[in-house]
Amino acid sequence: MTSPASPRDTIAALATPLGEGGLAVLRISGPRALAVGDAVFAPAGTRSRRPSEADSHTVQYGHVVRDGRRIDEVLVTVFRAPRTYTREDTVEISCHGGLVVARLVLEAVLASGARLAEPGEFTQRAFLNGRLDLTQAEAVADLISARTELAAAAAQSQLEGVLSGRIRAVRDDLMNVMAHVEAHLDFPDDDIEPDTQGRLLSRLATGADLLAAMSRTAREGQVLRRGVRAAIVGRPNAGKSSLLNLLLGHARAIVSPVAGTTRDTVEETASIRGIPVVFIDTAGLRETDEAVEREGVRRSRAAAAEAELVLHVLDGSVPLDPSDATLIGELRERPVIRVVNKSDLPRPLVLPPGIDAVSVSCATGEGLEGLRDAIEQLVWGGRVTAEALPVTVNARQADALRRAEEGTRRAAEALRSGESLEFAALELRIAVGAVGELVGQTATEDLLDAIFRQFCLGK
Ligand SMILES: Nc1nc2c(ncn2[C@@H]2O[C@H](COP(=O)(O)OP(=O)(O)OP(=O)(O)O)[C@@H](O)[C@H]2O)c(=O)[nH]1
Ligand SMILES: [Mg+2]
| Cα angle, residue 277 at apex, residues 274 and 280 outer, rounded to 5° | 160
Q: How far is the CA of 227 from the centre of ligand 1 (A)?
A: 27
Q: DSSP letter for 15, please.
A: S
pTM of the predicted protein model: 0.82
The pLDDT score that the predictor gives to residue 383 is 65
Q: Whole-angstrom Cα distance, residue 76 to residue 74?
A: 6
- In the structure, which protein residues have their CB atom closer than 6 angstroms to any atom of ligand 1? 236-242, 255-257, 259-262, 283-284, 341-342, 344-345, 361-363
The residue whose CB lies within 8 Å of the most ligand 1 atoms, and thus the one to mutate among 285, 344, 345, 362, is 362
Q: Whole-angstrom Cα distance, residue 442 to residue 435?
A: 9
Chain length of the chain:
459
The pLDDT score that the predictor gives to residue 193 is 82
The residue whose CB lies within 8 Å of the most ligand 1 atoms, and thus the one to mutate among 232, 235, 242, is 242
Helix 218-226 and helix 134-145: axis angle, to 10°? 40
Q: DSSP letter for 352, please.
A: P
The pLDDT score that the predictor gives to residue 1 is 40
The three state secondary structure string of 255-299 is: CCCCCCCCCCCEEEEEEECCEEEEEEECCCCCCCCCHHHHHHHHH
> For the chain, how far is it from start to end, CA to CA, in angstroms?
14
Q: Whole-angstrom Cα distance, residue 454 to residue 459?
A: 10
Q: How far is the CA of 367 from the centre of ligand 2 (A)?
A: 20
The rounded Cα 102 to chain-centroid distance in angstroms is: 29
Q: Which domains does the chain have, with CATH numbers?
A: 11-131 (3.30.1360.120), 136-217+393-440 (1.20.120.430), 233-266+280-385 (3.40.50.300)
Q: Which ligand is nearest to the CA of 239?
A: 1
**Residue nearest to ligand 1 atom 8, measured at CA:** 239
The pLDDT score that the predictor gives to residue 386 is 63
Q: Which ligand is nearest to the CA of 234?
A: 1
| Cα angle, residue 123 at apex, residues 117 and 124 outer, rounded to 5° | 80
Alpha-carbon separation of residue 75 from 48, 79, 94, 415 (angstroms): 10, 13, 5, 63
Q: Is 451 left (phi over 0), alpha (psi -120 to 50) or beta?
A: alpha
The pLDDT score that the predictor gives to residue 7 is 66
Tell me whether strands 228-234 and 309-315 are parallel, antiparallel or unpaired: parallel
Mean pLDDT of each 10-residue bin along the chain, 459 residues long: 62 92 96 98 96 98 96 98 97 94 96 95 94 94 91 93 94 94 80 86 96 91 91 97 97 95 94 94 93 92 94 97 94 95 97 96 97 94 68 93 97 88 93 93 84 84
Alpha-carbon separation of residue 59 from 62, 76, 84, 94 (angstroms): 10, 5, 14, 10
Tell me whether strands 115-116 and 11-14 are parallel, antiparallel or unpaired: parallel
The pLDDT score that the predictor gives to residue 4 is 47
The pLDDT score that the predictor gives to residue 450 is 84
328, 353 in Cβ contact below 8 A?
A: no
434-451 b/e (C-beta count within 10 Å ≥ 16 → b): bbbbbbbeebeeeebbeb
Q: Whole-angstrom Cα distance, residue 387 to residue 218?
A: 17
